[in-house]
């Protein structure tokens, strides 16, 4: 609830494949516990332009994707797209480069909130 900043009026989109634990936490448990809507998109292959178009077209308020996907999105330069509903971005797993965080902020005006979760804390 606190890291994803979800409320019952939010629409959460997590691009994680259902074979990953990230999908369970980001697409099922957390949004539903918070009463949020879950956005689902059938995307057989990751394409930055499809992600950007989807964020532009649908009222997604919270977006979660892997750090590698954020790297690909800023390389695509999403500054020409408008994300009118998007207000919160999260990622987890491997660390995200400061350059990617800065480019995303410049291109979208949004901060990416990083964390590590249950997959990364097995050793703890």
What residue ranges do the domains of the chain occupy? 19-93+106-115
Residue 25 has pLDDT above 80, yes or no: no
- Name residues whose C-beta falls within 8 Å of residue 27's C-beta, 6 or more positions apart in sequence: 12, 14, 16, 18, 38, 40
Confidence grade of residue 88 (pLDDT, cut at 50, 70, 90):
very high
Six token digits for residue 35 = 């009463």
Res. 29 pLDDT band, cuts 50 70 90: confident
Whether 124 has a pLDDT exceeding 70, the answer reads no
> Residues 21-31: what's their mean pLDDT?
78
Quote the pTM value: 0.90
- Contact (CB, 8 A) for 22 and 28: no
């Amino acid at each position: 609830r606190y890291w994803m900043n979800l409320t019952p009026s939010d629409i959460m989109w997590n691009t994680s494949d259902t074979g990953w634990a990230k999908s369970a936490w980001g697409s099922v448990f957390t949004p539903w516990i918070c009463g949020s809507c879950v956005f689902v998109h059938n995307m057989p292959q990751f394409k930055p332009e499809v992600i950007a178009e989807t964020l532009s077209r649908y009222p997604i308020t919270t977006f979660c994707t892997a750090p590698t996907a954020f790297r690909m999105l800023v390389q695509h330069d999403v500054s020409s797209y408008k994300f009118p509903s998007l207000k919160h971005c999260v990622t987890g797993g491997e660390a995200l480069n400061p350059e990617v965080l800065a480019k995303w902020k410049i291109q979208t005006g949004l901060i990416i909130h990083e964390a590590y979760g249950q997959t990364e804390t097995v050793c703890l």
